[in-house]
Chains A and B, each alone.
Chain A
Amino acid sequence: MIWQLDLVILTLVVICGIGSLMIKDLLGAAILFGAYSFMMCVLWAVMGAVDVAFTEASVGAGVSTVFFVAAVFHTTRRTKD
């Protein structure tokens, strides 16, 4: 378990999480959420949880982002906060 890799990916995860909540464009929030999901998958793969990382890669970074983009497409893209 290389602690340098762990720290860098954790920092990226926190930045993606904060960014996905702060951005004012909902499509950008969906894409940043996909990036957050994928960074989580890498983190779990580094920790040795290969089944969970496989599931998160297919579910979180694949299907979940598509659901978000489909929902944003049929509602509005702009938001005040």
Chain B
Amino acid sequence: MDRILEVVIAKYNYWIYIVLMMIGLYGVIAKNNLVKKIVGMSIFQTAIILFFISMGMKKGATIPIIIHGQEASVRASDYINPLPHVLMLTAIVVAVSTLGVALALAVKVYKEFDTLEEDEILEKIRKS
């Protein structure tokens, strides 16, 4: 019982990030509406970014901007890791670009088929 509790306390935040990723994945796979699929894709992307940011944390360290008076004696264990932040900045910008293109595609699909539900679109394609 004690061992289970200490494993839970050490790793619970990783489990919540995995739950969030799986919610996003379920939205992409199982929802019929196109806009809900796009929302699921965005949830998945931000959950991945959250996971990466949590990897760069260091206990007792401050934000990665060098403090004004202490430029001569910089120790790497005083500042959190800036490398995941840089990669995730690129990831956020790419996410918003794909969101824009995906929504443009959804608007075009609605103009053509007059519905956004995936099963109705497949039926209309099969009939014509």
- A binding-site residues for B, Cβ under 8 Å: 1, 6, 10, 13-14, 17-18, 20-21, 26, 29, 33, 36-37, 40, 43-44, 47-52, 55-56, 59-60, 63-64, 67-68, 70-72, 74-76, 79-81
Contacts and interface: CB of A to CB of B under 8 A. Distances in A.
Contacts of B49: 40, 52
Q: Chain A interface mostly helix, strand, loop or mixed?
A: helix
A68 to B, nearest CB: 7
Interface in B92-120: 92-93, 96, 99-100, 103, 106-107, 110, 115-117
Interface in B67-99: 80, 84-85, 88-89, 92-93, 96, 99
Nearest to B19: A14
B35 A29 contact: yes
Given A17-B24, A17-B43, A52-B49, A29 B36 contact: yes
Contacts of B85: 49, 51-52
A4 B117 CA distance: 41
Contacts of A48: 57, 61-64, 80
Nearest to B114: A76
Given A49-B56, A79-B36, 5 more contacts: A17-B20, A21-B36, A48-B57, A51-B89, A80-B117
A17 B57 contact: no
A74 B110 CA distance: 9
Contacts of A10: 13, 16
Nearest to B87: A52
A68 B103 contact: yes
A60 B35 CA distance: 16
A18 B33 contact: no
Contact of B46 (A29, A50, A60, A76): A60
A21 B31 contact: yes
